[in-house]
A and B are shown apart, each in its own frame.
Chain A
Amino acid sequence: MAILVDEDTKVLIQGITGSFGGRHAQLSLDYGTQVVAGVTPGKGGQKFADTVPIYDTVDEAVAETGATVSAIFVPPPFAGDAILEAVDAGVDLAVAITEGIPVIDMMRVRAAMEGSKTRLIGPNCPGIVTPGTGEDSHGGCRIGIAPGYIHKRGKIGVVSRSGTLTYEAVWQLTALGLGQSTCVGIGGDPINGTSHLDVLKMFNDDPETEGIVMIGEIGGTAEEEAAAWAADNCDKPIAAFIAGATAPPGRRMGHAGAIISGGKGTASAKKAALREAGIEVAETPAEMGSAMVKAMG
């Protein structure tokens, strides 16, 4: 089951011939993910790693291979266009890994996507992993840049705005033997495609997911919105961690969206809202796994 993607999901990669996109396309293939196509304008007809056909357009790649998910590794100046191309081709899911897309571009992309069937994850995110059942979770669906081997097929859903912090949580859940149903990196930008709340709802409806780890950080109010919904609607235990308690106001902490502005988006306000909703909040990033165990009782 899991959410969004599973071992049968057919994935195409926009920007497969770039060094970053190519490296991670190979790692996904090695993980056992069905990477069925690549797209790089002007390189149609070539092959990636001698096996994966490359097309000039997403439209063509979808028509020829039946891919339903696109992973986007296109550089920032062209990424907005790449996302809209995936939407136009009618993929179910577009996962934008690219970091550094101008905010105004994302504002327009989100508005232009209204009413389409495509869900956008990211940008500026590590992607999605539904672990497989093989050794080191091999055989799963890895879309993006996360290290596959740290996962273990299991029962915890993970949703996060950060990359390495997600890996840290995944590592802890694997070490505790809980494993993961699906891990979703929603990205560190101020305007993104899918929120904490969207993913919480999906995990709540997923029979394989028994508990949820939600990782947030300073900036915006997405964690508060998710908590308000969860208080009355979520049937599953949730553990959370919020990064940035020591971050100075007004400074962007690496992620474009991680900024306390006008006194809004502080870690303490988020933690209070989460606790208010009955969510188990980990005091430190070292306790994300144990907080999940505690929440599950």
Chain B
Amino acid sequence: MNIHEYQAKELFEKFGVPTPKGQVASSADEAKSIAGEIGGDLLVVKAQVHAGGRGKGTFKNGFEGGVHLVKSTDEAAEVAGKMIGETLVTHQTGDEGKLVNKVMVADAVDIEKEYYLAILMDRENRCPVIVASTEGGVNIEDVAEKTPKLIHRELIHPLIGIQPFEIRKLASKLGFSGDTAKQFGKLLRSLYKLFIECDCSMVEINPLVTTPDGQVLALDAKFNFDDNALFRHPDIEALHDPSEEDPREVEAAKYDLNYIGLDGNIACLVNGAGLAMSTMDIIKHYGGEPANFLDVGGGATQEQVRNAFKIILSDPNVKAILVNIFGGIMDCDVIAKGIVAACGEVDLNIPLVVRLEGNNVEAGKETLANSDVDLIRGDDLADAAEKAVKAIAA
């Protein structure tokens, strides 16, 4: 799960990670009063969407840039007015763009130097890793490729946590000394505490900056939380913004279905994540393009299958459906009845290929044969995938 920049800033404040003064606004008037409270002669107004590349984005109303420097409260209000309620298109949003509901108004601090600082879960070493670099404010993957020496990694022991010597090592590698090193140490300890206590899978500050008056501040933040741990963080789960996600994925989640929309035209409905991925792969192998990933889970009900059909059919690109079920413990007849029920409700006018195998498969095939659902039977996985691809070509 991702969160907005202003929400990240609020978490930083809660845990004592210093950030520039600022607040979120939902209207031009609010932006104006926040700008007044912050004071200073240079402020920044930032559109709040999850996508990156905001600064270089364009609003559909023609307004250029999702990040603006402003010099007065009136200008803050004017810029906020052009952003709020408008759709911002960046290289990460796709052509449809993202609706901006809120903007952040913050102090535009003077920057002396930009750094990079992140904590993430290192799965190979099974512990958190701190990644730090003197090359901040740019794409860290480019730095890793061109100048890997400038990226410093520190593995943290999973049980004892971050140690003072590790902080000293990193401060030294980033060239911090004296009071700056102290501030950096305090910031990093707070950040580590936040990472662990909030069950993050990643927290990234890019850039971390030093200012001419000697402050160390987090200027931007990107969070990723472990979805498996959200049950113990209702406050973080409440930060979830469904408007940032594919509405079909939001709908699927309501029924405990795991759906990811893709660009192809052959929809698939599968039980099990590994088999669902493989079904996408085999569609591609036979020359087709999968329209989605959809795992109905190991114990799918008729109701889930019915809803799964509705969701995959809500994608206008879908030209055929491939159902691939290996009923291990799951009863194939339950799936068959779900398919029949779904087809009774929706006006199915595209080819449907069904491959059923496993537990109670004969009853499932009989249920399908005795219904008036018009479907193509796949004898095995390869046969089904091939038939789905051919059904579109025909």
Contacts and interface: CB of A to CB of B under 8 A. Distances in A.
Contacts of B121: 103-104, 107, 190
Contacts of A255: 273-274
A283 B128 CA distance: 35
A147 interface: yes
B277 interface: yes
Given A162-B273, A285-B275, A150 B158 contact: no
Interface stretch (B8-16, B94-102, B279-287, B342-350): B279-287
A44 B157 CA distance: 37
A217 B262 CA distance: 18
Interface stretch (A3-11, A32-40, A55-63, A240-248): A240-248
Which of A76, A160, A285 has the most C-beta atoms of chain B within 10 angstroms of its own C-beta?
Answer: A285
A206 to B, nearest CB: 24
Contacts of B232: 77, 102
Interface in A200-248: 215, 217-218, 220-221, 241, 243-248
B329 interface: yes
Interface residues of A, number: 61
A100 B228 CA distance: 5
B260 A218 contact: no
A126 to B, nearest CB: 8
B381 interface: yes
A104 B229 contact: yes
Contacts of B359: 147
Interface stretch (A64-72, A256-264, A272-280): A256-264
A244 B328 contact: no
Interface in A72-94: 76-77
**Interface residues of B, dominant DSSP:** mixed
Residue from A76, A164, A243, A251 whose CB has the most chain B CB atoms within 10 Å: A164
Q: In this complex, which of A110, A161, A165 has the most chain B Cβ atoms within 10 angstroms of its Cβ? A: A165
A102 B199 contact: yes
Nearest to A282: B278
A246 B290 contact: yes
Contacts of A162: 272-275
A218 B273 CA distance: 12
Contacts of A24: 329
B227 interface: yes
A111 B277 contact: no
Contact of B293 (A190, A217, A253, A285): A253
A168 B282 contact: no
Contacts of B381: 168, 284-286
Interface in B178-225: 196, 199, 201
Interface string B314-326: 0000000000001
Contacts of B275: 162, 164-165, 168, 243, 285
Interface string A133-149: 00000000000011100
A256 B262 CA distance: 19
Contacts of A254: 258, 272-274, 276-277, 293, 295
A256 B227 contact: yes
Contacts of A244: 277, 281
Contacts of A163: 272, 274, 298, 328
A176 interface: no
Given A150-B358, A188-B274, A164 B282 contact: no
A84 to B, nearest CB: 12
A191 B228 contact: no
B308 to A, nearest CB: 14
Given A103-B121, A254-B258, 13 more contacts: A102-B228, A108-B159, A150-B328, A162-B272, A163-B272, A164-B272, A246-B262, A246-B284, A248-B260, A254-B272, A255-B273, A256-B227, A258-B274
21 contacts: A102-B226, A103-B201, A105-B229, A107-B126, A107-B128, A146-B328, A147-B328, A150-B328, A162-B272, A163-B298, A164-B274, A164-B298, A188-B274, A220-B123, A244-B281, A254-B258, A256-B227, A284-B285, A284-B382, A286-B282, A286-B382
Interface of B: 121, 123-124, 126-128, 141, 157-159, 196, 199, 201, 226-229, 231-232, 258, 260, 262, 270-285, 290, 293, 295, 298, 326, 328-329, 357-359, 380-382, 385
